[in-house]
Amino acid sequence: MLAEKKALIRFLIIYILSTIILIGIGEYFYYKISKEHIIELQINKAKNDLLIKMQGKRLIEIPDVTIFRNRIKIKGELPYQKEEYKIKDNKIYYKRTEIRRVGKIEIINAIPFDEKPLRNLQKNLIIFNIFVLIFIFITSFLLGKVFLSPLKKRIDDLEEFIRDTTHEINTPISIIKSNIEMLELKGFNYKECERIKSAAIRINQIFENLKHLYLQNKKIKSQINIKKTLKERLNYFESEINKKNLEIIKNLDDITINIAKEDLIRIIDNLLINAIKYSPSNSKIYITLNEKYLEIKNEGDIKNPKIITQKFVREKDGGFGLGLYIVDKACKENNLKFSITSSNNIVTTQVYF
């Protein structure tokens, strides 16, 4: 469901931005052409105003204009301008040029520039943009739903399959574990039993991770002793530790925190199984627990620590890439901070309380 939401958001962002850019380009040229048309109408107004003033009058008698002969001012107060027209200080200045016997005559007429049509144009474009944005958001949301509905169905089918499979696998795992324990009680300590037990532990870890992701019930938080839980989980993985002849160096304080017990077990189990799995045989694993953090160190190397907590990301072959994702997720749900670093062939995982 999260992946579907991310895909929908990305689609909406791309669709909305591309549509807005295309409409924005069209509006830019429309505004530019419309503005030029409004200015042209104002120029024509200034022309007509000047023609009316000039009608039946000598140059010197034309009212409210400035006249230049061969660029020498002979009447009026306006400065000389090279352009046919210019807009300045909310006025439009129009220059009419005539060639007469006395020389080149330039008559400059100024009238107020009517900004109302330009303001109306801007106002109409703003209103149009509001309606366009509403339409784009509604359309993009509906299109996103239509296009992503097949993906949603596939995701729902996959999650349902995982839930069903996870539920069904619990029974054979329990049978395998209980029968191995019965054989051990009867004194059957063959290597084959150890291998079956290791495989059962591995399958059980996969089952617990999948159950944690897809079969979560309402979690109840309580005060849990981390030291006690940690020792219990170390005993659970004793056969795996002995198989690789690993030495566990512990420095554990008696620490209690408020957390859902299944979340704490998922955090500890996944950190321990990773340290056991990727440590070389005959090496040491250092476990430190104090009031600030739980820390596990082992020999090894991680190439991409920054992405290793993402879902389905695996550093090496084996597993589903869910362990550290579940650790990070469980930490966030319980207001804890998880970090993983790799330096000088030492992998360090820390859970800060």
Q: Tell whether 27 is covered by a domain.
A: yes
Q: What is the mean pLDDT of the chain?
A: 85
151: pLDDT confidence band, cut at 50, 70 and 90?
A: low
CA distance 196 to 207: 16
Q: Evaluate if residue 129 carries a pLDDT over 70.
A: yes
257 is a domain residue: yes
CATH number at residue 283: 3.30.565.10
264 Cβ contact partners less than 8 Å away, ≥ 6 residues apart: 224, 226, 229, 257, 330
Residue 245: is its pLDDT beyond 80?
Answer: yes
Given 114, 130, 159, the domain boundary residue is 114
Q: Which residue has the tokens 């931005």?
A: 17
Would you call 322 helix, strand, or coil by DSSP?
coil
Percent of residues, the chain, with pLDDT higher than 70: 85
Is the confidence at residue 95, as pLDDT, over 90?
A: yes
List C-alpha distances in Å: 191 to 185, 195, 198, 199. 15, 6, 10, 12
Asked whether residue 173 is assigned to any structural domain, the reply reads no
Are the C-beta atoms of residues 263 and 217 closer than 8 Å to each other? no
Spell out the residues 6+ positions from residue 218 whose beta carbon is closer than 8 angstroms to its own: none
Average the pLDDT over 7-32 and give the result.
Answer: 86
Domain count, the chain: 2
123-135 average pLDDT score: 91
Q: Are residues 105 and 225 in the same domain?
A: no
Q: Which range in 14-23, 137-146, 255-264 is most confidently predicted, on average pLDDT? A: 255-264
Chain centroid to Cα 268, Å, comes to 30
How many residues are listed for the chain in this entry?
A: 353
Is the pLDDT at 317 greater than 60? The verdict is: no
How much is the pLDDT for 214? 65
Give 166 or 77, the one with higher predicted confidence. Answer: 77
- Would residue 124 count as lying in a domain? no
Residue 269, classed as helix, strand or coil, is helix
At 40, is the secondary structure helix, strand, or coil? helix
Task: Tell me the C-alpha distance between 250 and 2, whole Å.
Answer: 39
Widest distance between CA atoms in the chain: 132
In this structure, what is the dihedral angle of CA atoms 135, 138, 142, 145, given to the nearest 10 degrees?
140
Average pLDDT score over residue span 142-166: 71
What number is the average pLDDT over the span 323-335?
Answer: 90
- CA dist list (Å): 168 to 165, 171, 206, 244, 323: 5, 6, 13, 31, 21
Mean pLDDT of 296-309: 86
Per-residue model confidence as pLDDT tens digits over 38-88: 999 999 999 999 999 999 888 888 999 999 999 999 999 999 999 999 999
Tell me the C-alpha distance between 121 and 126, whole Å. 9
pLDDT (mean) for 165-190: 69
Average pLDDT over residues 277-291: 94
Beta bridge partners of 68: 73, 106
Poorest-confidence range of 33-37, 90-94, 200-204? Answer: 200-204
Residue 22 falls within a domain, yes or no?
Answer: yes
Does the residue 244 lie in any domain? yes
Higher pLDDT, 213 or 348: 348
What is the tens place of the pLDDT at every residue in 99-125?
988 889 999 999 999 989 999 999 999
Mean pLDDT value of segment 124-137: 90
Q: Please indicate, yes or no, if residue 196 is contained in any of the structural domains.
A: no
- Domain contains 47: yes
Which residues share a beta bridge with 97? 106
Q: Which of 54, 79, 114 is the last residue of a domain?
A: 114
pLDDT of residue 318: 54
User: What are the counts of helices (DSSP H) followed by strands (DSSP E) for the chain?
Assistant: 7, 12
Of residues 145 and 235, more confidently modeled: 235
Range of the domain at 65: 2-114
Which residues lie across from 347 on neighbouring strands?
A: 298, 342
pLDDT at 307: 81
3-state secondary structure of 58: coil
Q: Which of 92, 114, 136 is the last residue of a domain?
A: 114
171, HSE (Cβ side, Cα atoms, 13 Å):
4
User: Which two tokens mark 64?
Assistant: 């409210």
pLDDT of residue 320: 61
- pLDDT above 80 for 91: yes
Residue 136 is predicted with a pLDDT of 86
Look at residue 23 and give its three-state secondary structure.
Answer: helix
State whether residue 300 is helix, strand or coil: coil
Per-residue pLDDT at 216: 61
Q: Beta strand 65-69 with 72-75: parallel, antiparallel or unpaired?
A: antiparallel
Position 188 confidence tier, pLDDT thresholds 50, 70, 90: low
List 337's β-bridge partners, or say none: 352
- In sequence order, what are the residues at sequence separation of 6 or more whose Cβ sits closer than 8 angstroms to the Cβ of residue 318? 277
Entry pTM: 0.52
